[in-house]
Structure 1
Amino acid sequence: MMRLPRPRVMVLIAGLIVVVNGFVPAIWIVLTSLKTEAELLRLPITILPDKLTFQNYTRVFTDQPILTFMWNSVAVATLSTLLCVTVSALAAYALVRLRLPAPGLILSVLMAIAMFPLISLMVPLFQVMRTVGLLNTWWALVLPYAVLSMPVCTMVLISFFQDIPKDLESAAMIDGCSRLGALWHVVIPLTAPGVFTAGILAFVNAWDEFLLALTLSSRVSSRTLPVGITLYQGEFSFPWPIISAALVVAIVPISIIIALFQERVVGGLTQGGMKG
């Protein structure tokens, strides 16, 4: 009779699969960015570059206005994150503390919105943004990004707000705080890991999103980084080394942010999962 793998071995195997799936493509992109196009097309394929070249990174900044793309991404992701976390915190607090009719139905609607395929929203979003004159502006992306991330962020914050004793808010309101003041001065500080988790999730979603950015921003000056990278390809050429270098430039900022807040995000997801 065949023995089943021990749980420890299965965990190690699963972790190895995740590591390989996550790091091998990233390492391949970095190595490709350090090769010339001639070397990349040469057979047999080599993993390590024969001679390191940083010319691709120079061309990333000279061939296209990548700093403009990056600034647009930073601005859009930051604004959408602030808006998303603010509204999600208010919604989560209302669902936890206020006596709303059919809170379960509201949560079900939130989850249904989160499951909507993005492609089905493209035409109505484009028409709305064109009607209100927001096409090719930051707000054409900020508003949809915030709304699309709200269901997940609201669910994350609900799991944290439920663990805060009502007596703390009551004491704050007796001392003169309004309900919003109690939320800001008592609940938010005590649920900082959850707020950080929701913020990072919203920021990463906005930073990585491509389809909406491609549809709602047609001008070069208003394009975000994922869409701007596509401009490096020509009509009959696809310079992989330059595109790989641009991808590295795009990955570095978000990697730094995740590395800085890794403990808070992991702790927030773990605590939220345990409380939920």
Structure 2
Amino acid sequence: MASDAALRLPATSARRRAAGSFRRQRLVKRILFYLAVALSLFYTLFPYYWAIVSSTKQGDRLFDRALLPDFDFTHYRALFENASFMRSLLNSVFVASGTTAVSLVLGISAAYALGRISFPQRRFVLILILMISIFPQVVVLSGMFELVQWLGLFNRPSALILTYLLSTVPFTTWILTTFIREFPRELEEAAIVDGASHWRILTRILLPLMGPALASTGILAFILAWNEFLFALTFILTDENRTVPVAIGLISGSSRYEYPFGQIMAASVTVTLPLIVLVLLFQRKIVSGLTAGAVKG
């Protein structure tokens, strides 16, 4: 009896030590995980917070390293009283919304053809779309400039919608093609038996099921068009037709020696807030749309 108890005692102690070591490892891993999350959030959010802080400071206070804002909204009042900037804001809404709408229409049509209809050149078309999407803007700038002039769209916001499609259509086509491929073909086969055309299948059967994918691709295309700078700077000359990124870049101080950092930060915060609200409202659909098709069910 005594020998059995003596044998059980070391075994129990070993199990306790193993359990304690396992708990410590779990605690260390959890601490490291939360530390990594905190560092990622700080790296991502602090620049925007500092922009908010800087937009509320005046004069020499801009060079102060205090982390709390001054709650002086002079820059914001001047910004909203600037008719040229507000016009640029409306131009950005028009251009980004128009680009998103046209991109989704073209992307849905192309995605259905590439994801559901078999034709010999399908693989070549997919590779071509991928090649177009990776072209730098500088490479196509001169060609797009000639096209815009030939169409008579120079210095018009509609010229930006045309040029932005060069990057947004391949993007929406790729995402929607992946999403459409995951739909069961039995839905189409049943519709074809009933005599439905491809257009009717797309608009009446597949399109109502594509809410998350349309939300994610639409919002991301909207952000791409909203933040674009090079084409907007090249194809628009007058203040009344400029978009927000160019308007922010052209903000000047009261003298040639003043750098209007506070005004620029106020404008940046103002034009970023709508995007943040938009993403927060549709964050679930964005995530579900981007992850759809990643794992087959």
Q: Provide TM-score, normalisation by structure 2.
A: 0.84
Partner of 2:178: 159
Structure 2 counterparts to residues 32-71 of structure 1, below 5 A: 32-41=54-63, 45-49=65-69, 51-63=70-82, 65-71=84-90
1:30 corresponds to which residue?
52
Structure 1 counterpart of 2:282, from 243, 252, 261: 261
Give the residue type in structure 2 aligned to 1:236.
Y
Name the aligned partner's letter for residue 71 of structure 1: L
**Per-residue deviation at 1:28?**
0.1
Is structure 2 residue 227 aligned with structure 1 residue 205?
Answer: no
Q: How does 1:240-259 map to 2 (within 5 A)?
A: 240-259=261-280
User: How much has 1:273 moved relative to structure 2?
Assistant: 2.8
Q: CA deviation at 1:11?
A: 5.0
Check if 1:122 corresponds to 2:122. Answer: no
Deviation of 1:12 (Å): 4.2
Matched, 1:232 2:251: yes
Aligned-residue CA RMSD (Å): 2.2
Partner of 1:195: 214
Could you tell me how far 1:175 is from its partner in structure 2? 4.0
The 1:10–1:111 alpha-carbon spacing in structure 2 relative to 1, beyond 3 Å, is farther
Q: Quote the Cα distance in structure 2 between the aligned partners of 1:201 and 1:29.
A: 23
Q: 2 CA distance for matches of 1:210 and 1:275?
A: 38
* Contact 2:133/2:166 (<8 A) preserved: no
Deviation at 1:255, TM superposition (A): 1.0
Using a 3 Å threshold, how does the CA distance of structure 1 residues 48 and 198 change in structure 2: closer, same or farther?
same
Number of residues of Structure 1 aligned to a counterpart in Structure 2: 270
The residue that corresponds to 2:4 in the other structure is: none
SS in structure 2 at match of 1:229: helix
Q: Deviations over 1:105-127 (max 9, x none)?
A: 22122111111111111111112
> Max radius of gyration: which structure?
2
* TM-aligned CA distance change 1:215 to 1:153, over 3 Å: same
Instruction: Supply the AA of the counterpart residue of 1:104.
Output: R
Does the alignment pair 1:82 with 2:101? Answer: yes
* Deviation of 1:210 (Å): 0.9
Structure 1 residues 241 and 87, CA gap change in structure 2 (3 angstroms) = same
Instruction: Provide the C-alpha distance between the structure 2 equivalents of 1:189 and 1:14, rounded to a whole number of angstroms.
Output: 39
Which range is displaced more, 138-147 or 212-221? 138-147
Is 2:88–2:241's contact at 8 Å kept on the other side of the alignment?
yes
Q: How far off its partner does 1:8 sit?
A: 5.9
Spell out, residue by residue over 1:182-220, the C-alpha distance to the aligned partner (whole angstroms, 9 max, x if none): 101111111221111111111110011111111111111
Q: 1:233 to 1:274 in 2, by over 3 A?
A: farther
TM-score by length of 1: 0.90
Aligned amino acid, residue 222 of structure 2? F
1:153–1:202: 8 Å Cα contact kept in structure 2?
yes
Partners of 1:101 and 1:139 lie apart in 2 by 35
Structure 2 Cα separation of the partners of residues 10 and 143 of structure 1: 48
191-200 or 78-87: which moved more?
A: 191-200
Which consecutive residues of structure 2, in runs of 5 or more, have no partner in the other structure? 1-24
Question: For residue 21 of structure 1, what is the aligned residue in structure 2?
Answer: 43
